[in-house]
């Protein structure tokens, strides 16, 4: 009988000792995190937190040919940005590591020996040329390509002879009928007999690296995973995994498969779209909690709210309200307009807290400096930024929108402009009028300015052109009254005073 590594035996004992829920997110570092991956990680995290369990991160890098440098580090960064806390994983500690599959090859080799010993796996010496011929013949006869299990029937002496010659081989697992249906946490009972459609699968490649299916099962068991929540595309493989658990004599975890995440028109999300990567949303300026609420809005898992008013829930509120049985079993449609609404809600929410408000102001200051590096005369006072944010919270979606060229007047102060089309006395009266206006709204401002122009016998278009230049230095943009509303009374008065001729400024001060 095979002697199991004491460390593996300890891990197996630890698994059975776990009374708490343990889930994992196990991505491959072959690309960057996208909405589908975030949804999987998020639902695992919410489920674990709801039941007081642990969330593990495992990096599945057995396919060494497709690794993207830096992908693992970026993935961790994106998860943490989204508010997903990692309890165990690479760089986060934990007793059941390593949590990177390429560092677990010895564990997989010993597990393979166990299957070879109990007769549920065998060495396959078939060449790539023979396998390619099998595929071509299946396609020619319009059948699904599958391995014909030839090497399963080799005698012990035939295997020994091939090994003695140094013939390359992989390890295959013997598929058997699986009559018991999978009791899926989301879909209910699902039946799929994998041996009807597939030949014996490879579990260890000739390069001594395990395949996804084998390493996945071994790691989930040894890391004490109690519940596996993953995309529905893996549901068809779960029967294969259950057979592996049976071959080892291990108790399998419970499985739940999350429905497809699809576009608003029902088409499947694709990494090739380029706009579903988490980095894309971050670079555009979406906030983490807005994106998290956006993802869960499509998949269910929460009580249906009859209140039509959109809410932005904290991560704590989400995991407190999460119930796996309420997750949808039909494809989850994303509505991009909802994300914009949620991002505006997060701006409003951040404005209501002292610490978050300060961070928001600092972020705007940094964005403006980056947008206008050639300008030294920028209006970045905290009070002004807060006024702009309060005005924009129901109008704009992203903080970056505040740096668009048509809103440059918010930040770039006009320089070297003096009002010359109004007399000193008219300018003094205008400043007094603006200062006295209580309802500093564009409609009220338009009425007052028109009335002033008539009273002072000033051509209204000329006066507005002058005011636009004094306030923004621009020849076009929003209406002057709207510009004044956005800037607010204090900034409007400040900029007009800066554009006054010296003699007008003295007159205004004397009155």
Pick the closest to residue 2 from 95, 168, 113, 119 (CA basis).
113
Same domain, 118 and 172: yes
Please answer whether residues 296 and 83 qualify as being in contact, where contact means their C-beta atoms are separated by less than 8 angstroms.
no
Assigned domain for 134 exists: yes
Please spell the DSSP secondary structure of 161-228, one letter per residue. HHHHTT---EEEE------SPEEETTTEEE---GGGT--PPEEE-TTSPBPHHHHHHHHHHHTT--EE
Same domain (yes/no): 242, 389: no
How many Cβ atoms are within 10 Å of 34's Cβ, its own excluded?
A: 22
Q: Is residue 72 part of a domain?
A: no
CATH code of 455's domain? 1.10.10.350
Do residues 125 and 151 lie in contact, with contact meaning Cβ atoms separated by under 8 Å? yes
Same domain, 109 and 251: yes
Cα–Cα distance, 292 to 85 (Å, whole number): 13
Which domain, by its residues, includes 392?
A: 353-410
Among residues 410, 435, 454, the one where a domain terminates is 410
- Are 390 and 428 found together in one domain? no
Same domain, 112 and 134: yes
- In terms of domains, do 116 and 145 share one? yes
Cα–Cα nearest to 203, from 217, 190, 189, 191 = 217
Distance CA(221)–CA(250), nearest Å, equals 8
**Is 6 inside a domain boundary?**
no
The number of beta carbons lying within 10 Å of the beta carbon of residue 235 is 19
CA distance 96 to 12: 10
Two tokens, residue 19: 């009374």
Instruction: State in Å, rounded, how far the first CA of the chain is from the last one.
Output: 103
Is 271 designated active site?
A: yes
Give domain status of residue 14, yes or no: no
Q: C-alpha dihedral over 205, 208, 214, 219, to 10 degrees?
A: -160
Q: Report mean pLDDT in 10-residue bins for the chain, 511 residues.
A: 44 56 96 94 98 97 87 96 98 96 96 98 97 95 94 97 97 88 94 89 94 96 98 93 96 96 82 77 95 92 69 94 93 91 95 95 96 91 93 90 92 86 90 94 95 94 93 86 93 92 57 53
| Residues 210, 134 within the same domain | yes
What pLDDT does 4 receive? Answer: 44
* 405 and 429 inside one domain: no
Does residue 370 sit in the same domain as residue 449? no
User: How many domains is the chain partitioned into structurally?
Assistant: 3
Q: Are residues 207 and 133 in the same domain?
A: yes
Last residue within a domain, chosen from 234, 258, 282:
258
Catalytic residue among 271, 442, 448, 450: 271
- Distance of alpha carbon 486 from alpha carbon 445, whole angstroms: 12
Q: Which sign, positive or negative, has the C-alpha torsion 63, 64, 70, 72? A: positive
Q: Where are the beta strands (DSSP E) in 397-504?
A: none
Report the SS3 class of residue 128. Answer: helix
pLDDT of residue 5: 52
The answer to whether residues 142 and 217 belong to one domain is yes
Residues 6 or more apart whose Cβ sits within 8 Å of residue 496: 419, 427, 430, 431, 434, 467, 470, 471
In a domain, 251, yes or no: yes
User: Within a domain: residue 308?
Assistant: no
Rg (CA), the chain: 33
In a domain, 454, yes or no: yes
User: What CATH number is attached to the domain comprising 187?
Assistant: 3.40.50.620
Give the distance, in angstroms, between the CA of residue 88 and the centroid of all CA atoms in the same chain: 20
Q: Does residue 11 sit within a domain?
A: no
Are residues 447 and 374 part of one domain? no
Q: Are strands 254-258 and 227-231 parallel, antiparallel or unpaired?
A: parallel
Dihedral of CA 11/16/20/21: which sign? positive
Identify the domain boundary among 238, 258, 278. Answer: 258
Q: Which of these, 331, 326, 329, lies nearest to 304 by C-alpha position?
A: 326
Instruction: Note the pLDDT of residue 475.
Output: 81
DSSP code string of 451-476: HHHHHTT--HHHHHHHHHHHHHS-SS
pLDDT at 185: 97
């Amino acid at each position: 009988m095979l002697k199991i590594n004491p460390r593996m035996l300890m891990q197996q004992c630890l698994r059975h000792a776990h009374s708490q829920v343990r889930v994992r997110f196990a991505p491959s570092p072959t690309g960057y995190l996208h909405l589908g991956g975030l949804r999987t990680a998020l639902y695992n995290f919410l489920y674990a937190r709801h039941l007081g369990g642990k969330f593990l991160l495992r990096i599945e890098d057995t396919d060494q040919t497709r690794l993207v440098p830096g992908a693992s580090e970026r993935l961790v960064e994106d998860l943490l940005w989204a508010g997903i806390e990692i309890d165990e994983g690479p760089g986060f500690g934990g007793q059941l590591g390593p949590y990177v599959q390429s560092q677990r090859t010895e564990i997989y080799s010993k597990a393979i020996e166990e299957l070879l010993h109990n007769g549920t796996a065998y060495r396959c010496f078939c060449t790539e040329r023979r396998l390619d011929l099998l595929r071509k013949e299946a396609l020619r006869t319009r059948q699904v390509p599958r391995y014909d299990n030839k090497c399963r029937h080799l005698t012990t002496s035939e295997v020994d002879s091939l090994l003695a010659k140094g013939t390359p081989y992989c390890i295959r697992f013997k598929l058997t009928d699986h009559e018991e249906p999978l009791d899926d946490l989301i879909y209910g009972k699902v039946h799929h007999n994998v041996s009807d459609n597939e030949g014996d699968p490879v579990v260890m490649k000739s390069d001594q690296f395990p395949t996804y299916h084998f390493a996945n099962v071994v790691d989930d068991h040894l890391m004490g995973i109690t519940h596996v929540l993953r995309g529905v595309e893996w549901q068809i493989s779960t029967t294969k995994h259950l057979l592996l658990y049976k071959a080892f004599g291990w108790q399998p975890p419970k499985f739940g498969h999350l429905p497809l995440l699809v576009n608003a028109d029902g088409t499947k999300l694709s990494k090739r779209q380029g706009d579903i990567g988490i980095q894309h949303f971050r670079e555009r300026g979406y906030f983490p909690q807005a994106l998290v609420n956006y993802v869960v809005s499509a998949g269910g898992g929460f009580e249906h709210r009859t209140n039509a008013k959109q809410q932005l829930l904290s991560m704590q509120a989400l995991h407190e309200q999460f119930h796996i049985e309420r997750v949808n079993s039909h494809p989850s449609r994303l509505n991009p307009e909802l994300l914009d609404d949620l991002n505006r809600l997060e701006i409003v929410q951040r404005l209501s807290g002292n610490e978050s408000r300060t961070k928001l102001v600092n972020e705007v200051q940094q964005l403006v400096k980056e947008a206008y590096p050639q300008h030294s005369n920028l209006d970045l006072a905290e009070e002004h930024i807060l006024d702009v944010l309060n005005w924009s919270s129901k109008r704009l979606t992203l903080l970056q929108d505040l740096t668009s060229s048509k809103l440059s007047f918010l930040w770039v102060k006009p320089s070297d402009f003096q009002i010359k089309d109004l007399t000193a006395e008219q300018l003094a009266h205008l400043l007094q009028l603006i200062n006295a206006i209580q309802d500093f709204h564009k409609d009220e401002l338009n009425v007052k300015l028109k009335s002033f122009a008539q009273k002072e016998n000033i051509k209204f278009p000329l006066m507005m052109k002058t005011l636009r230049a004094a306030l923004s230095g621009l020849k076009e943009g929003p209406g002057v009254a709207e510009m004044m509303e956005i800037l607010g009374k204090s900034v409007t008065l400040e900029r007009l005073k800066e554009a006054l001729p010296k003699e007008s400024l003295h007159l205004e001060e004397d009155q």
